[in-house]
Amino acid sequence: MDLSLSTRTEGDRTIVAVGGEIDVYTAPKLREQLIDLVSNGSYHIVVDLEGVEFLDSTGLGVLVGGLKRVRAHDGSLRLVCTQERILKIFRITGLTKVFPIHASVDEAVAASD
C-alpha cells in the first residue's frame, strides 16, 4: 500500500498523519514533507503513525532526520503510536529512548518540551 500524508496545525504544533507503508519506496515522500515543514517554520511536529501498516529502518532514518532538523531550531518531534507491530521496531533499535512516543495526538500536542 502506498503512503498517505495529511497535515494540519493545532496552535504551534503541526500534526502529520501518515497512512500506509513507510519503506525504502515511500520514505522519500515523508522526508520531503518533513523538510518542507521545517523550511516553512514548523518546528514542533507530531507524526501520527496510527494509520501506518509497515515501517522499516529506512522509515526510521527519515524520522531521525526530521528529529535532527527540528532540534536545530530547538523544536520537537513527537510520535503517536499504539500499534504493537510498529512499536516493536522502535523498541529493538533503542529508538524509544530517542523519540517521545504518545498514545494519542491530544497527548502529544499537550506535551511540553
Partner 1 sequence: MPTVRLQISATPAHVRTARLVATAVARRSGVADSALDEIRLAVGEACSRAVSLHEEFAPHEMITVLLEDEGKFVVTVRDLGPVGTESRHTDPLEGFADLPGPDQFLATYSDRMPTGFGLAVIGSLVDDVEIRAAGDGPGTLVRMTWPIGTALT
Cβ neighbours around 69 below 10 Å, total: 19
- Radius of gyration (Cα) for the chain, nearest Å? 13
Beta bridge partners, 55, equal: 22
Using the rule CB under 8 A, is 16 a contact of partner 1? no
59 vs 105, beta carbon nearer partner 1: 59
Interaction of residue 31 with partner 1, rule CB under 8 A: yes
Strands 13-22 vs 76-80: parallel, antiparallel or unpaired: unpaired
Nearer residue to partner 1 within complex by CB, 8 or 68: 68
According to the binding rule CB under 8 A, does residue 51 interact with partner 1?
A: no
Retrieve residue 55's grid coordinates.
515501517
CA–CA separation, 96 vs 90, rounded Å? 5
For residue 25, state whether it binds partner 1 (rule: CB under 8 A).
Answer: yes
Binding site for partner 1 (CB under 8 A): 21, 23-25, 31, 54, 56-58, 60-62, 64-65, 67-68, 71, 85, 89, 92-95, 97-98
